[in-house]
Copies of this chain bind each other. A is one copy, B any other.
Amino acid sequence: MRQTSFAQMHCSLARSLEVVGDWWSPLILRSIYLGADRFQDLAEDLGLSRNLLADRLRRLVDGGVLTRERYADRPPRDRYALTRAGRELVPILAALTAWGGPVADAARWAAVVFEHAGHECRATVGCGTCGEPLTSDAMTPMPGPGGRRAAGTTLVAGIVAGHVPRRP
């Protein structure tokens, strides 16, 4: 079991990962988005144990990413749906799906590609202000509203705030 709760960290990335950041959760969200929305469907699709699946679904419901709806009473059967916050994760997961790299190589391994407004669409991260595609070189990190020098941000909080110089 994990001993650190990312929910305590003063970093919204860590807190996002608290909700979706194990190996299975993003795949569970993918499968529900694609239409495998019942417990039995998910167990079959992903091939993971019922205990592990139940635990991850509970975490995703508690994290506000999924809702659970009972569609049959005898025997009790539930289906899952993405909340608004869950739907907002879909494009981010699509960007991770389209990410290259030697292991993930989307050109070879993408099980899903996306169409958007009639054309093929590679999910790309851009600047929400000017719309240009974002690259790491073009982004400058600045202190955010939630920054604290605490576990998980002990050093980077100071770097971002300018107290500790970034090494060249």
Contact = CB atoms under 8 A, between A and B. Distances in A.
A16 B142 contact: no
A50 interface: no
A54 interface: no
Interface residues of A, number: 112
A82 to B, nearest CB: 7
A87 B146 contact: no
A112 interface: yes
Interface of A: 2, 4, 6-7, 10-19, 21-23, 26-27, 30-31, 33-37, 41, 44-48, 63-65, 79, 82, 85, 87-117, 119-148, 151-157, 159-160, 164-167
The 8 closest A-B pairs by CB, nearest first: A35-B166, A110-B144, A90-B136, A85-B101, A45-B155, A91-B125, A124-B128, A122-B128
